Amino acid sequence: MAFFYRYTAYLLLLFCLVPSSRQCYGQSLFPPTVRRVVFLGNSITYAGKYVTAIDSYYRSHYPNQPIEFINVGLPSETVSGLSEDGHAGGQFPRPDLHERLDRVLTQTKPDLVFASYGMNDGIYMPFDETRFQKFNDGIEWLHNEVVKTGAAIIHLTPPVYDDLKGGKPGYGAVLDRYSDWLLEQKKARNWQVIDVHYPMKQFLDAHRKVDSAYNMAGFSLADDGVHPGDVGHWIMARTILSGLGASAIASAPDLKAAMASVPNAAQLIQLIAERQTIMKDAWLTATGHKRPGMSTGLPLEEAKAKAAVIDARIQALLP
C-alpha cells in the first residue's frame, strides 16, 4: 500500500520532534492529505461498531493528524443491484448503491473510501455465476466512480456468514468465492483490499473445533449468522487497522485492551460512539436513500454543531 506508507518516515520524525503536549505514538496510518474517510456498506457498516472502534483507536493514537470518519452504511443495500423476491416480507426491494453513490461522494467529499459489500449481494442463495458477475460489475463500477473523484478506495472482503446460525447452509462458501475474487484484484489490478472475511472465519472455526455449538458471545448480534456483535466488529476493526500498519494491536482481544494505555479510554469511546450515531443518520438523511424504516437524522448543520461540542470534549480528554 505505497500510497499510505509513502510519508510514514517523515511523519514519525515530524510528530516526535515538533513540541507538543500530545504523546508521540509513532507513524500515522494515512498520508497527510487524508482528512475525511467515508465508510460505505450495508447494515453491518450502519451498525457501526467497527467504524467507532477505528475512529476511537485512531483519534487516541494519532492526535496530530485529525481525520473525520463518516459512516454512510445503509441496511439491506447491495452493490450488485440485486434483490430477492419478497425481501423484507415484500415491503421493499433491497436498496441499490447505484441510486445514491453520486450524491454521497459529492456531499461527503472523501479523500478515502472503505467499501464493504458482498454479504447481501449473493442474496442468500447458492452460488450462481450471473449473480456473481453482477457483484463483480458493481464493485468495478464503485471502484471507478470513487477513483474518478480523486479519492482512494480500499475494498473490504465481506464479513463471515455463520452457516450454523444463519439457516442458509452453504452461503458461507458463496462469500468465500466473493472474498477470493476481491483478493485476486490486489494482484490483477493493484487494488487496495483488506481481508476481514478469512480472519473472522478462522476465529469462528477455531472455536467450533473446541465446541461444535460455540456461538461466541457477542459474535452474532441478532443470532442470524449475518450481523456481527462486539467480537465480530472488533475483529473487523483490528484487521483493518492492522492492514493499515497498526501492527501493535494484531493480537488485542478487544478495543479496551487495544486502548489500555490511553487515559480516559472508556469516556473517549463513549463520546466517539455518540458522535458517530448523530452524524451517520444526519449524513444518510442529507444524501438521501430509498430504504424505508430508517431514522431521520438531524439537519446536517445542526448535527455538525452537536458534533463540534462532542469534539471539544474528546479533544480535552486526549493525552
β 36-41/68-71 pair status? parallel
Report the pLDDT value the prediction gives residue 27, as an integer from 0 to 100. 67
Q: Which carries the bigger pLDDT value, residue 290 or residue 215? A: 290
6 — pLDDT class (breaks 50, 70, 90): very low
Q: Is 3's pLDDT higher than 90?
A: no
Domains of the chain, residue spans: 31-258
224 — pLDDT class (breaks 50, 70, 90): confident
Cell 431521520, residue?
296
Calculate the CA 120 to chain-centre distance: 15
Q: Is 25's pLDDT higher than 60?
A: no
Give the model confidence (pLDDT) of 242-251 as tens digits.
999 999 999 9
User: What mean pLDDT comes out for the span 285-294?
Assistant: 97
Give the model confidence (pLDDT) of 75-99 as tens digits.
999 999 999 999 999 999 999 999 9
Q: Are 144 and 105 in contact (CB under 8 A)?
A: no
User: What mean pLDDT comes out for the span 63-67?
Assistant: 91
253 φ, ψ to 5°?
-75, -20
Q: Are 240 and 156 in contact (CB under 8 A)?
A: yes
Q: Which CATH architecture has domain 31-258?
A: 3-Layer(aba) Sandwich (3.40)
| H or E segment and range at residue 39 | strand 36-41
Give the model confidence (pLDDT) of 160-186 as tens digits.
999 888 889 999 999 999 999 999 999
Name which of 197, 179, 85 is nearest 139 in CA terms: 179
User: What mean pLDDT comes out for the span 217-241?
Assistant: 81
Report the pLDDT value the prediction gives residue 21, as an integer from 0 to 100. 28
N residues, the chain? 319
